[in-house]
Copies of this chain bind each other. A is one copy, B any other.
Amino acid sequence: MASDRYNDLDQLGQNNGLPQSPDEAVLERVKNPCPEPYMVRLVAPEFTSICPVTGQPDFAHLVVDYCPKDWIVESKAFKLFLGSFRNHGDFHEACTTGIGRRLVKEIEPTWLRIGGYWYPRGGIPIDVFYQHGKAPEGVWIPDQGVPPYRGRG
């Protein structure tokens, strides 16, 4: 039942360990199966990296939206790429925009954006919003709809 579009995937269906750093992670891609423009959304509520100043872990909920040109990202490779930030240290603004820019380089989409919704530190969360390129005319791009931080009560 599987088409040969998927023959080259080395990670899906395998039992892979985590890459040691973002640089070691391989972002495998699959041929885009649809000749018309459309949008793909990937949600990663399990992202974690390290604060470069204190060494403490940081946590974020990430949402990536993109319009494929020739390729779509393979979702297990995407998951392993995100996992490679587990022991990588940088500020919220640098991690979020860095992930967005790496995806732009590897997947070469027509358009891409990433929202990074970080857990609060000192009672104050930081959210980072980055986008690159221009969505093709007529593509439908819904809001990411992540609810804002509320504190308690």
Chain A residues in contact with chain B, CB under 8 A? 1-3, 5-6, 9, 12-18, 30, 32-34, 36, 38-46, 48, 50, 52-57, 59-61, 63, 68, 72, 75-76, 78-79, 83, 86, 88-91, 93-94, 96-98, 101, 113, 115, 117-132, 134, 138-153
Interchain nearest-CB distance for A72 vs B (Å): 5
Residue among B32, B94, B126, B144 making CB contact with A41, cutoff 8 Å: B126
The reply to whether A90 and B142 contact each other, CB–CB distance below 8 Å, is no
Number of copies: 10
Residues of chain B within 8 A (CB-CB) of A72 are: 91, 93
A117 to B110, CA, bound (A): 21
The reply to whether B59 and A86 contact each other, CB–CB distance below 8 Å, is no
The reply to whether A148 and B63 contact each other, CB–CB distance below 8 Å, is yes
The reply to whether B60 and A152 contact each other, CB–CB distance below 8 Å, is yes
The reply to whether A88 and B53 contact each other, CB–CB distance below 8 Å, is no
Residues of chain B within 8 A (CB-CB) of A113 are: 140
Closest to A125 in B: B43
A83 to B123, CA, bound (A): 11
Interchain nearest-CB distance for A113 vs B (Å): 5
Interchain nearest-CB distance for A64 vs B (Å): 10
Residue among B122, B132, B139, B140 making CB contact with A36, cutoff 8 Å: B132
The reply to whether B123 and A91 contact each other, CB–CB distance below 8 Å, is no
The reply to whether B40 and A93 contact each other, CB–CB distance below 8 Å, is yes
